[in-house]
Structure 1
Amino acid sequence: MLKLDDIKKPIEKEIDAFEEKFKTSMQSSVPLLDRITHYIVKRKGKQMRPMFVFFAANVCGGITESTYRGAALVELLHTATLVHDDVVDNSFERRGFFSINALWKNKIAVLVGDYLLAKGLQLSVDNQEFRLLKIVSDAVQQMSEGELLQIEKVRRMDISEAVYYEVIRQKTASLIASCCAAGAASAGATEETIQLMHAFGEKIGIAFQIKDDLFDFGVDDVGKPKGIDIKEKKVTLPLIYALNKATKSDKKKMINLVKHHEDDPVKINQIIDFVKNSGGLAYAEDQMLQYQNKAFEILATFPDSESKLSLEQLVKFTTQRKK
């Protein structure tokens, strides 16, 4: 099983240097803001996004100072969207820790998100990184559109596979695509190469989200079915497939169950069993691997290198990870 720390080793020094630059990029003269941003930095995730930026830069010519700024810009704007998402979703937990809105309430959380967005813009403009700003800003726009599209469709429970892919392309894949494109741009790559890296990242992002969909049908740490997406009435690929394969009466029954399960574990289990028995999980896994292979096909067009191998391993990690 691939471990992220092992994949990261070739760029460990660069990631450590990036962390320091990222901390500096969030500094403020307001003590409350500094306390909150310190809390955010201490609870960082797996750092997959900066890794995609750095490996992509190496594949496309080499890491530069611009690469550090690209990684920081991605993290600033992404963190801002997460802080705002927790307010929108009324979520009080993020990566096993209290969310910003849980500790400092919604008003402060929204303002912190705004501050991080502003710091990203400032970082770009001060260093004349307009190409990077365009790449990442496009991703943030798509993420917002994807969230709104999902909200609109979930209300009516009429998501087709085509709509599902459009939602996750915008919501999840656009960010990973921007990481890879920003890495290429920071290395001085041509526009054609930047677009190729963007397409590569998009395929990975779609595979990444399908993997998340599959997690929802596993069990949690105490052996209970997860069903988090089901509880939140999110329509995922395994469920879409199962509904499409069902008879008209079964489909109506299951849609009604998803809409009105009221967090009842028995009803959640019924939905999970329905999806498993229909072959929804096997279908979703097959689709995930198809997108992974599409990403590998794009990567194969680049010259062989250690960073290219690391990117391949990072792609495999996205589909093999346990959480």
Structure 2
Amino acid sequence: MHNSMTQKPHELLAETLAAEMDKVNDLIQTRMASEHAPRIPEVTAHLVGAGGKRLRPMLTLAAAKMCGYQGDHDIRLAATVEFIHTATLLHDDVVDESAQRRGRPTANLLWDNKSSVLVGDYLFSRSFQLMVETGSLRVLDILANASATIAEGEVLQMTAAMDLKTDESIYLQVVRGKTAALFSAATEVGGVIAGASEVEVKALFDYGDALGIAFQIADDLLDYQGDSKTTGKNVGDDFRERKLTLPVIKAVAQATDEERAFWVRTIEKGRQEDGDLEQALALMVKYDTLTQTRADAFGWATRAKKALEALPDHPVRQMLHDLADYVVSRLN
């Protein structure tokens, strides 16, 4: 990495895009207001105010800047992307019955499920209003498709999560839906609004797609190998929630009849006993699936960096390159 090790790539990106991000935050504040339903800004402010890296809107701003954009539609699109992301988080927490997000109680816990779902719907509507203001049918097409892919990914995950027939291709489809679709749309619209060439727009899409997949695979691996102080999650939460993620899918694919019976009992039927997590980890070690999953994450990060080669030589490009490294550096 070129920048000093004291500063992480997303922090350097945030510093570079600080003026634009201030405008994005102002726009978010303005558009999440509602004169008729005060609960909307209350719920939204709780989630928006919880911090988070704001990575997705920064990707839109970074792509537009790298492609030489002059104008203010990148601000609208960055806010759009953040609204879509926030709406999906509100809906996710209801579906997953989550009690915590970013170390704070979730909106569905503080208010109720109905408020979370309806405020999420409101933010989706707001995001479409913002898209339309750019006057670009292509931008609308990209973000509308991404919104549909996200919803489709969530439904697929619900049906595939506890089904041992779920293989790596279905897993990838779920990851593209729940994570990568918004990353790739965020980078792609930045290029489109800047009038970038088709080759550059495709490269931006490929970068966002690969970055999102690397990000999610790393996340899923950290569930079994991470430090709960750093990740904010307990080791094995995915196992306890019976989620079929890549390390488990790889182990199931190679399982003996006896091992498969173990996976059926713990994942499909949800009859978990003391010592089951240790047994699951032992099977992942036996088939070396944690190492293979790590290699997959690094492979996608490399694809993200390769995609950048087609883009203009710009300081932001190096930051995006370092960001791809950083996403998987958590696995070292």
Q: Normalized against structure 2, the TM-score is what?
A: 0.90
Q: Secondary structure at 2:51's aligned position in 1?
A: coil
**Pair 1:22-2:28 in alignment:** yes
- 2:40 maps to 33
Whole-Å Cα distance in 1 between the matches of residues 125 and 34 of structure 2? Answer: 12
What does residue range 26-105 of structure 1 map to in structure 2 within 5 Å?
26-29=32-35, 30-62=37-69, 64-105=71-112
1:299–1:292 CA distance, 2 compared to 1 (3 A) = same
1:308–1:145 CA distance, 2 compared to 1 (3 A) = same
Over aligned residue pairs, what C-alpha RMSD do you find?
Answer: 2.3
Q: Secondary structure at 1:156's aligned position in 2?
A: coil
Code of the aligned partner of 2:129: Q
- 1:163 maps to 170
- 1:316 maps to 325
1:250–1:31 CA distance, 2 compared to 1 (3 A) = closer
**Pair 1:301-2:310 in alignment:** yes
- 1:125 maps to 132
- Count of residue pairs the alignment pairs up: 323
Whole-Å Cα distance in 1 between the matches of residues 71 and 271 of structure 2? Answer: 52
Whole-Å Cα distance in 1 between the matches of residues 236 and 70 of structure 2? Answer: 41
Q: Secondary structure at 2:235's aligned position in 1?
A: coil
1:28–1:136 CA distance, 2 compared to 1 (3 A) = same
CA contact (8 A) 2:210 2:300 kept: yes
What does residue range 210-225 of structure 1 map to in structure 2 within 5 Å?
210-218=217-225, 219-221=227-229
Code of the aligned partner of 1:14: E
Q: Secondary structure at 1:61's aligned position in 2?
A: coil
1:102–1:263 CA distance, 2 compared to 1 (3 A) = farther
Give structure 1 stretches of 5+ with no counterpart.
none
Give structure 2 stretches of 5+ with no counterpart.
none
Whole-Å Cα distance in 1 between the matches of residues 147 and 322 of structure 2? Answer: 26
Runs of 4+ in 1 over 4 A off after TM superposition: 222-225, 260-265
1:320–1:213 CA distance, 2 compared to 1 (3 A) = same
Identity score, percent? 34
Give 1:224 deviation, angstroms. Answer: 9.7
CA contact (8 A) 2:223 2:236 kept: yes
Whole-Å Cα distance in 2 between the matches of residues 59 and 5 of structure 1? Answer: 17
More divergent stretch after superposition (144-153 vs 254-263): 254-263
Give 1:263 deviation, angstroms. Answer: 5.6
- 2:18 maps to 12
Code of the aligned partner of 1:292: A
Whole-Å Cα distance in 2 between the matches of residues 202 and 57 of structure 1? Answer: 17
Give 1:318 deviation, angstroms. Answer: 1.4
Cα deviation code 1:113-161 (max 9, x no counterpart): 1111111112222442433222122111111111222222234321111
What does residue range 173-188 of structure 1 map to in structure 2 within 5 Å?
173-188=180-195
Cα deviation code 1:211-258 (max 9, x no counterpart): 011111124239996111111111111111122233232223233233
Give 1:178 deviation, angstroms. Answer: 0.7
Cα deviation code 1:146-190 (max 9, x no counterpart): 122222223432111122112212221111101110111221223
Cα deviation code 1:62-111 (max 9, x no counterpart): 35311111111111112111111111222222111111111111111111
